[in-house]
Chains A and B, each alone.
Chain A
Amino acid sequence: MKGGARVLVIVPAHDEEESLPRTLAEVRAVAPAVDLLVVDDGSRDGTARAARAGGVPVVRHPVNLGVGGALQTGFRWAVEHGYDVGVQLDADGQHDPAWLAALLEPVLAGACDVSIGSRYVARTGYRAPVARRFGMVLFSGLVSAVLHRRITDTTSGFRAYNRPVMEVCQHDFPKDFPDAPLLIALARRGFRLQEVAVTMRERRAGRSFYTLGKSLYYPYKNLLASLMALLQRPV
């Protein structure tokens, strides 16, 4: 990567042994200078083995903490090992590493502290179920209002964070879903967020972190956490 900045791609993985090897290989192919870290979030399958076979360091949670916890572990590692930028990238193949350079560009240039790979900035043909679309509009509106800046994809898990953001997040981070509440909390701390248009693919294998059982809990928790992020004093 340019300017000698050290970049770490953090791949949170929960039972992703099928899709992980290809994801890691793709990142290696497009960005050989970038380091990888797999955070195995309490997988029951061979996720850790698949990562090691690819020569990628693996940190394993003994139990499942959720994507937020996995990311937080990744941030901690990145800070301890002196990385300047951390990229969050899903193991399931949804995020095309071809967009890595575009995602990193504004963060490396210092134009923003967090860049968010968004499906909706440009028309990409992604169609979501009605309930989900309503939630996306709701949270996008909420976050955009708080940030005074248009954020269309609050649930995107394809993001780049600079070091100051990672330093804060390694200690203080929303527990379950690092979505709207995280974006609001970061904005309230004065971090600059920016969206970058990307295209996303269908997941290759595994299942979404957003399962049916969580579909009722998610909007409630996310709305409450978003409002709380507004009321909480930035630490």
Chain B
Amino acid sequence: MHFLSRTQIITAFGAVALVFYVLDLVRRRKLSEDYSLLWMIASLVVAVLGFSTPLLTWITRALGIMGESSTVFAFGLGFATVMLLYLSIRLSRLGQENHALTRELALLRHEVDLLRTAAAPGPPGTAGGERA
């Protein structure tokens, strides 16, 4: 196996290390399986490109890129962009869900306060659970 440059070596081994780190995160339940998928694909592709010099050279020629290391970085950057966009989408959805839950919680809280007051008639302030 021969490498074209030092950057190719660093990137290739870095990508392999990332594969194992992602797997370990999933094992320790720090990263959910669905999120890990994109990371696995990204780091595996970069690792394959890093180790397989003929493939890397072929793709570089085919895409008209100057220099093989640029190809590796281009793929990495592409995956990073996809990942960030994906995270933004997930965040937007989380925000919407959070928003809906907050509203639901407020209405339920009010309902609970009413029921408590009705169930335990006593001096005001003892049953309502008010802290305002």
On chain B, the residues within 8 Å of A48 by CB distance are: 130, 132
State how many angstroms separate the Cβ of A182 from the closest Cβ of chain B.
15
Interface code A167-187, partner B: CB below 8 Å = 1, 0 otherwise?
000000001000000000000
The contact string, 1 if C-beta is below 8 Å from chain B, for chain A 52-80, is 10000111111101000100110011001
Q: How far does the alpha carbon of A65 sit from the alpha carbon of B110 in the complex, in Å? A: 17
- Does A46 belong to the interface (CB within 8 Å)? yes
By a CB distance below 8 angstroms, the chain A residues around B106 are 39, 59-62, 73
A69:B103 contact, CB within 8 angstroms: yes
Q: Which residue of chain B is the closest to A66 with respect to CB atoms?
A: B99
Other-chain contact of A65, B103, B107, B109 (Cβ < 8 Å)? B103
- Are the C-beta atoms of B107 and A175 separated by less than 8 Å? no
0/1 interface trace, chain A 136-179, chain B, CB 8 Å (1 if under): 00000000000000000000000000000000000000010000
With A60-B110, A73-B107 already in contact, the answer to whether A65 and B102 are too (CB < 8 A) is yes
Q: Which residue of A lies closest to B105 (CB)?
A: A62
Chain B positions within 8 Å of A57 at CB level: 110
User: What CA separation (Å) do A57 and B109 show in the bound complex?
Assistant: 12
Interface membership of A49, Cβ < 8 A: yes
Known: A57-B110, A73-B107, A76-B107. A62 touches B132 (CB 8 A): no
Complex formed: what's the CA distance from A52 to B99 in Å? 25
Contact (Cβ within 8 A) B102 A62: yes
Question: Which residues does chain B contribute within 8 Å of A73, judged by CB atoms?
Answer: 103, 106-107
Chain B 88-121, CB-CB to A under 8 Å as 1, else 0, gives 0000000110010011011101100000000000
Nearest Cβ on chain B to A16's Cβ, whole angstroms: 13
Cβ–Cβ contact A61 & B132, under 8 A: no
Count the A residues whose beta carbon is within 8 Å of the partner chain — how many? 20
| Minimum CB–CB distance for B95 against chain A, Å | 8
Residues of A within 8 Å of B99, CB to CB, are: 65, 69, 175
Q: How many residues of B contact A (CB 8 A)?
A: 12
In the complex, are the beta carbons of B102 and A69 less than 8 A apart? yes
Q: CA of A72 to CA of B96 in the docked complex: distance in angstroms?
A: 13
**A72, B101: Cα distance in complex, Å:** 12
A33-59 to B contact mask, C-beta < 8 Å, 1/0 = 000000100000010110010000111
A76–B109 CA distance with the chains assembled, in angstroms: 14
Known: A46-B132, A48-B132, A49-B132. A59 touches B110 (CB 8 A): yes
Measured CB to CB, the closest approach of chain B to A69, in angstroms, equals: 6
Known: A62-B102, A65-B99. A77 touches B107 (CB 8 A): yes
Minimal beta-carbon separation of B32 from chain A (angstroms) = 25
Residue numbers in A under 8 Å from B102 (CB-CB) = 61-63, 65, 69
Q: A46-B132, A48-B132, A49-B132 are in contact. Are A61 and B110 (CB under 8 A)?
A: no
Query: Interface on B for A, CB 8 Å cutoff?
Result: 95-96, 99, 102-103, 105-107, 109-110, 130, 132
**Interface positions of A (Cβ within 8 A of B):** 39, 46, 48-49, 52, 57-63, 65, 69, 72-73, 76-77, 80, 175
Some 15 contacts from A to B, beta carbons below 8 A apart, are A46-B132, A48-B132, A52-B130, A57-B110, A59-B106, A59-B107, A59-B110, A60-B109, A65-B99, A69-B102, A69-B103, A73-B107, A76-B107, A175-B95, A175-B96
Given contacts A57-B110, A61-B103, 8 further A-B contacts (CB under 8 A): A52-B130, A52-B132, A61-B102, A62-B102, A62-B109, A69-B102, A73-B106, A175-B96
